[in-house]
Structure formats: C-alpha cells, structure tokens
Amino acid sequence: MSLRHHAALLPLCLSLLGTSTTLLAAGAPVKERLKAPTGPTAVLSATSSMGTATVTVDGAGAFQDALVYTNADGLTADLSWRSALFIDGTQIEANDVKQKSTQKAVSSFALGSLQVKLVQQLLPAALAGGYVLDQQYKLSNPGTEPVMLNLLRYNDSDMRDPSTNTFLGDLGYQPQGGSYNYIVSDVAPTPASLTQYIGVKFSGGDVATRRAVRVCCSNYTDISPEENNTVPNDADLDGISDTGMDMAIAAQAPVTVPPGGSVTVKMKTVLGRSALSGLADLPAR
C-alpha cells in the first residue's frame, strides 16, 4: 500500500485546492491526492439489520473514511480513503455544517456569485448490508447572467481486508447501461463471503453524466468521451477490471444555473459489505 504524506496547499479563487503526494516506490513518480477536510464536520450514521455505517462529512460534502461495521463478524471496513466535489478543477470547501440528526446534516456557503445549500443524509439501502449517502446541492443564482460550472465528484477508495488491514487492490465495475460506477473488493463474489463495494451516481447536469473508474489519483477536471463508462485493466471489455490496483471513481457533468434561478445536483454514494450472488446484485440505476 502506498505511503501518503501531505505536500502543499494552494489558494485558489473560490476556495483552496489541496494537493498532496504519494511515494509509490523509489524513483517512482508522485501522484496528486485529495485534500482531507479541514473545517467543521458532522458525523452521519445509519443502522440496519446487518450493522452500522458512519461517514464524517464537511459542509461541502467531502469526507474522509466511510466506515461499515458488520454484525456477522464484528469487523469494520473503511470503504473510502477520501471523497470530494471539484468545480472547474478546484476542490470545494465550506466553513460550517449543522448536524440536524444522527442521519442528516445541512450547510450553506457561497460559491463565487452563487449560493449553495447542501443537504446530506445517510440511510440504509435496499440491498442488505448496504447504505446510501444522499447529498443534494441546490445552486442558486441571484445574478442577471447564467453561471456555467463543471462539477466532478471524485472518490479515492482503498479496499482493505478488515481482519488484517491489508490492501486488497481496488477493482472497477461499470454496470451495463447503469448510472453508478463502482470500486469492489471481489470481481466474482459469492453469498458465502462479504463483498465490499462503493459506488457513485451523479445527476442534475446539463447533459448525461460521464463516469469512469480510473487509476488513482489525478485529473479532477474532466472525463473525456473516450474514458466515459470505462474501467482500467479491462482487456475483455466486460466492464470489470481484470486485475486490482489503486483506483478511484470519477463522475462529471457541466451545470448551468440560470439567472434568478436554481439547479439541484444530486450525488449518491452507495457503500457496504454484502453477501452478493454476483456484481449484478449492486444497484445499476
């Protein structure tokens, strides 16, 4: 597993874009990393018959760690190293967040000339052992001109064996015709074992969302048409990685907020440890 250390913080126009580096091996190139939340946070939790999930979010919807405790074996899996929202390549931050309940947090912040209201909820999912982090951003434009933004959700997941804390190697999965993209711990799951997974769905942009699983961690600006709906290391083009490595999820779309109007952008993150009969058990839409 890579050794991570913080390298630099660069002030940008709307907020701060954090960069850090990872030492891969002697002489290997360093990689850009997501910045950890530095402001106030809220701890969201949800309980199901299978266990409990806990995600600590900041006011802009970034989070570091997504913990799933499973009653069956008494183990806790961390399904996301870091996740954040980027606008025009800049990681967005907010200075405040209000905890409304154990499952819900709200926040408001300015984004240039826009006003943003964010509602975040963590809920049990329909799939046993799964949970959904529902994040809804309402972007309001009080001005007289439209505001155009490029939004990209980035999630760096490091699938680990919770019993030994060893890196399993992230494997990408793109459901056929779906709107989620996933990182999973097993490409051929069976009900006899618990499969770890995290997936992202982004909706509300001007056009259909582009999505990709990519080698971690760089390019917080764009997903090209060629990369759309792809996973790395997929030689047979079945939408599943052939081998595991350090991967991340990206989902991106342009958003235009009309003058005097508003747009709501929805980010859903599905996470859990479940006894899957196959990857098709995971939500596609």
Higher pLDDT: 270 or 158? It is: 270
Segment 221-234 shows an average pLDDT of 94
Segment 241-247 shows an average pLDDT of 93
As a whole number of angstroms, the distance between CA 105 and CA 110 comes to 17
pLDDT value at residue 77: 96
Segment 115-121 shows an average pLDDT of 98
Residue 47 is given by DSSP the state: E
pLDDT per residue as tens digits for the range 69-97: 999 999 999 999 999 999 999 999 999 99
The mean pLDDT value of the chain amounts to 88
| 1-5, 125-129, 181-185, 257-261, range with the lowest pLDDT | 1-5
3-state helix, strand, coil in the chain (%, to 5): 0, 50, 45
Query: Per this entry, what is the length of the chain?
Result: 285
Segment 262-279 shows an average pLDDT of 97
Kindly indicate the confidence band of residue 8, based on its pLDDT and cuts at 50, 70 and 90.
very low
pLDDT value at residue 1: 37
pLDDT value at residue 180: 96
Segment 131-138 shows an average pLDDT of 98
Compute the CA torsion angle 232, 160, 157, 51 (nearest 10 deg).
Answer: 130
The owner of tokens 């600006």 is 221
β-partners of residue 262 are 140
- Give 57's Cβ-side CA count (13 Å radius): 30
pLDDT value at residue 75: 96
pLDDT value at residue 32: 54
Segment 143-170 shows an average pLDDT of 94
CB 149 within 8 A of CB 121: no
pLDDT per residue as tens digits for the range 20-68: 322 223 333 344 568 888 889 999 999 999 999 999 999 999 998 899 9
As a whole number of angstroms, the distance between CA 76 and CA 285 comes to 27
